[in-house]
Amino acid sequence: MKNLRFLPLIPLILGLALLQFLVNRQAIPSYLFPAPYQVWEVLMTDGQIWAALRDTSLNACLGFLLTLVAGACLGTGLASSRWIEKMFYPYAVFFQTVPIIAIAPLLVIWFGYGQPTVIASTFIVSVFPMIAATLDGIRSTDQNLLDLFRLYRATRLQRLLKLQLPFALPSILTGARIASGLAVIGAIVGEFVGGGGLGGIVDESLAQQRVDRVFAAVTLAAGLGWVFFAVLNGLSRVLLRNWHASQRG
Amino acid sequence: MSEAVLKLSGIQHSFPGGAGQVLSPLDLDIPTGQFLTFLGPSGSGKSTILRIVAGLLKATSGQVQEKGNLCKKAFVFQDAELLPWRNVLDNAALPLEIQGVDLDDRRKAAQTVLQDLGLGDSLSLYPSQLSGGMKMRVSLARALVTQPDLLLMDEPFAALDEVIRFRLAEHLREIWLKCNRSGKPLTVLFVTHSMTEAVFLSQRILVLSSKPARVLLDHTVGISESRDQATRADPAFAREVHQIYSVFQKAGEA
Amino acid sequence: MKVISFLLFFLQSTAFASDLELALNWKPEPEFGGFYLANLKGLDAKKGIQLKIVPGGAGQPVAQMLANGKVPLGIVSADEVLMARDRGADLVAIFAVYQTSPVGLMTHEEKGFKSLEDFFKSDSTLAIQKGMPAAVFMERKYGYGKVKVVPYQGGVGGFIRDKNFAQQCFVTSEPLLAKKQGAKPKTFLVSESGFDPYVEVVAAKGEFVRKNPKLIQDLVEIFQAGWAAYQEDFEETNKVMNGLNPAMTLEVFNESAKVQKPFVQPVGSKIGTMKLERWQKFADQLFEMKLISKKAKAQEAFVSKF
């Protein structure tokens, strides 16, 4: 059973082998689709791309942290009353629907080049799932437990900290997992306009028709997203280990 | 019997939005330390009475008077309703925590109650590691930890296996008797649709009709206060159950 | 309804089956004036060719589209041709619009820079397409020093807002727009520092060029005639292009067409012809800058026997 976790590697290896074979046989021209080996070579020899990964990771992390904190706070704020939810939720949806590509150039005007724009883009793209998940989690708090807290005359703050937020935790963590993938996308888009990082490498490499380098950067970006996801998965497992019998041991 | 801890006058209730009246006007005096059971078919408004008494629901009309307005209440739901992120000890200590009792004091109090309920070895387990019966014991411990004057129980054993129900019912009676003997009387309002459970547990049974609930019979249970598992085999016990059953039959509920 | 629309589509596609698409890498502007004029005046139709000009935009990967056979003809720059060839795509240039590269840097006059060298000693913000050969060349020659390099977004908005801002430009285009909005731009041509590629060439796949010598000959003649006429009289064509690209006023169209005249006009040869020495020098520079992996034989990258 344990070996099942390696199963996803099989399609990966087969796919890469097939791609390498097709490029070698010149069935696919390498200027349209690079051979896996070319990409590998770039990853092994290009120091810039790793420095870019470091920058992107840092900015995506900072933007994502902002999303976690602000998303949870905004979600909690919305959950505090039906009135507030009705009044402001439509504007929270704005973050979900805003075409980031279209407003990205404006971010540069608002926040300036470099890090601030990248963080802002990361935040805008990733914050909505966090808000919605927090709101849903708090809203779904068990009515009997709410009654119990009422019976013992708990304050609003006690109710929030001791009941509603912990109760919303599984939902919040699911939101955070979705947000983590979006955060990497947001960072890359931000770097397209703000400069630097893997987004900058992609921009530069496209101008030089370096498809291999584009793919190397994209591979690292995807890897970064995967790491974000895996870390949050691990974190969920640790935080929720007592919740479900299935996740014990 | 001593003076009334609770006095219900003309309580009635209708839910808004067409669900109609669930409670006909109800007048009731409940003496301190009484074990009173509301027995009736499902959906007869028994739970509504409990929630009104608990102050979780406002009656459409009528009023609830408490002795001195200082009555300490506790509520036990049909499901244990434990917090899955807390272990047994901290679940039981929750009401004290809300009331601002120190960590050490509240844990000590919770531990005492849990030990009485036979959970002394399970303090650090989490709800996901407990059986249904154990969860309900923790829930009961959480209710008792504040040393309430009034314990409201809404079909607490309905979801459990019958063997465990029997055992828990016996345990509940022991606790109730112990409280009353120690001079800190515990009044219990218990809701169930099980006639045997009602007879086994109660001093007094209010037999309710189906919606809107009205009192078909205000019955004082005639068997001895010292009850144990043998009580259920006693012919007197069977007679009590039969008497209630025939009330339901006459009212066309059965 | 579906059947009718399908039939219409079918008829349309057969009617234009003989269309020859020319993909631009930017919106209709005077830099493409001669092509539009040839099409407008029917110079192509006279040779039995129906040109169809397809405007592009930022990031249009024309070189890849050519290599992948998505369009037969496209406007690219000489470095794109050489880089594509280096990556194994057989692209060949057949016509060059500019004899001298109009690529430059636009700075604010108030900053008082005297040369590119001077500029690169400043702490300006420079918006430039990273990785573009001209950018790599300048970085190697001058070093960025304290200059803060940021992505190039197109347009002149950033330039107008910030006196410390400089950006890449076609001296035939952006400076005119900046002036219109009240700025005082001062430009420096990158060609003056020794990097002067053919920045706007018509290219096609080598196979297509070799198989259709007559067609290529005709095309080059059409382009030459179109551009010669545009140099003489651009106003009518500009009106049409302005209709397709209203973001730029007709006034700027006409000014731009005037400014670009000397860049288009060759000395001692026909419009659009290219010289081997320049191609070879440029190819060697690219190799030196490591933008291509092997030395290129420049004579294979273009045809210019006309």
Q: What is the pLDDT of residues A22-67, one digit of tens each?
A: 888 877 777 778 888 889 999 999 889 999 999 999 999 999 999 9
- Cα distance from N-terminal residue to C-terminal residue, chain C: 51
Chain C residues whose C-beta sits inside 8 Å of any chain A C-beta:
59, 61, 63-64, 67-68, 80, 83-84, 87-89, 125, 129-133, 148-151, 153, 157-158, 161, 291
CB-based contact C151 A203, cutoff 8 Å: yes
> Both C227 and C89 in a single domain?
yes
Selecting from A151, A162, A243 the residue whose C-beta is nearest the C-beta of B56 gives A151
Is residue C217 assigned to a domain?
A: yes
Domain final residue pick, C135, C164, C193:
C193
* pLDDT for A246: 44
> Both C33 and C127 in a single domain?
no
- Indicate the pLDDT class of residue B124, thresholds 50, 70 and 90: very high
CB-based contact C150 A113, cutoff 8 Å: yes
A246 burial (CB, 10 Å; 0-12 / 13-18 / 19+) is exposed
Domain final residue pick, C161, C193, C225:
C193
- For the residues C249-272, what does the mean pLDDT come to? 90
Selecting from A31, A105, A205 the residue whose C-beta is nearest the C-beta of C88 gives A31
pLDDT at C176 over 60: yes
* B254 in reach of chain A (CB within 8 A): no
Which chains does A contact via 3+ CB–CB distances below 8 A?
B, C
Maximum average pLDDT range among B13-22, B44-53, C34-43, C143-152: C34-43
Domain final residue pick, C174, C193, C212:
C193
Selecting from C68, C80, C130 the residue whose C-beta is nearest the C-beta of A203 gives C130
Q: What is the pLDDT of residues C14-48, one digit of tens each?
A: 444 468 999 999 889 999 999 999 999 999 999 99
> Both C17 and C92 in a single domain?
yes
The span from the CA of B37 to the CA of A176, in Å, is 48
Q: What are the beta bridge partners of residue C105?
A: C168, C188
Which chains does B contact via 3+ CB–CB distances below 8 A?
A
Mean pLDDT for chain A overall = 89
Mean pLDDT for chain B overall = 87
Is residue C305 assigned to a domain?
A: no
- Indicate the pLDDT class of residue C306, thresholds 50, 70 and 90: low
Contacts of A152 in chain B (CB under 8 A): 95, 98-99, 146
Q: Please provide the CATH number assigned to the domain covering B11-71+149-254.
A: 3.40.50.300
> Both C89 and C204 in a single domain?
yes
pLDDT at B147 over 80: yes
Write out the DSSP string of A88-156. HHHHHHHHHH--HHHHHHHHHHHH-TTHHHHHHHHHHHHHHHHHHHHHHHHHT--HHHHHHHHHTT--H
> Both C77 and C221 in a single domain?
yes
Contacts of A105 in chain C (CB under 8 A): 153
Mean pLDDT for chain C overall = 88
Helix (H) or strand (E) holding A206: helix A197-207
Helix (DSSP H) and strand (DSSP E) numbers for chain C = 14, 10
pLDDT at B42 over 80: no
DSSP state of B226: -
Contacts of C292 in chain A (CB under 8 A): none
| ipTM value for the complex | 0.88
Selecting from A31, A109, A194 the residue whose C-beta is nearest the C-beta of C87 gives A31
> Both C260 and C288 in a single domain?
yes
- Indicate the pLDDT class of residue C121, thresholds 50, 70 and 90: very high
Query: Encoding tokens for residue C185?
Result: 């731009």
Is residue C306 assigned to a domain?
A: no
In order along chain A (249 residues), what is the average pLDDT of each group of 10 residues? 75 88 81 85 91 95 96 92 87 83 84 90 94 94 93 92 93 94 93 90 86 92 93 91 59
C-alpha distances in Å from residue B118, one per residue of A102, B104, B121, B140, B178:
65, 21, 8, 12, 16
Q: Do chains A and B touch (3 or more CB pairs under 8 A)?
A: yes
CB-based contact C148 A205, cutoff 8 Å: no
> Both C211 and C291 in a single domain?
yes
The domain that holds C86 is classified in CATH as 3.40.190.10
* pLDDT for A3: 67
CB-based contact A151 B73, cutoff 8 Å: yes
Is residue C177 assigned to a domain?
A: yes
Query: Residue A37's closest CA among A54, A17, A55, A51?
Result: A17
| Contact yes or no for A52/A196 (Cβ under 8 A) | yes
- Indicate the pLDDT class of residue C9, thresholds 50, 70 and 90: very low
Q: What is the pLDDT of residues B58-106, one digit of tens each?
A: 888 888 888 765 678 899 998 999 999 999 999 999 999 999 999 999 9
| Residues of the domain holding C131 | 103-193
DSSP three-state, residue B216: strand
Please count the structural domains in chain C: 2
* pLDDT for C61: 84
The span from the CA of C172 to the CA of C166, in Å, is 16
Is residue C62 assigned to a domain?
A: yes
CB-based contact C89 A29, cutoff 8 Å: yes
The β-bridge relationship of strands B187-192 and B61-66 is unpaired
Residue of C nearest to A108 (CA): C158
* pLDDT for A35: 86
DSSP three-state, residue A64: helix
Task: Identify the structural domains of chain A with CATH numbers, from first to last.
Answer: 48-241 (1.10.3720.10)
| Contact yes or no for B26/B8 (Cβ under 8 A) | yes
Helix (H) or strand (E) holding C204: strand C201-205
* pLDDT for C122: 93
CB-based contact B75 A169, cutoff 8 Å: no
CB-based contact A211 C291, cutoff 8 Å: no
From the CA of A84, how many Å to the nearest CA of chain B? 24
From the CA of C162, how many Å to the nearest CA of chain A? 11
* pLDDT for C190: 93
From the CA of C228, how many Å to the nearest CA of chain A? 31
From the CA of A176, how many Å to the nearest CA of chain B? 19
* pLDDT for B7: 81
Q: Do chains B and C touch (3 or more CB pairs under 8 A)?
A: no
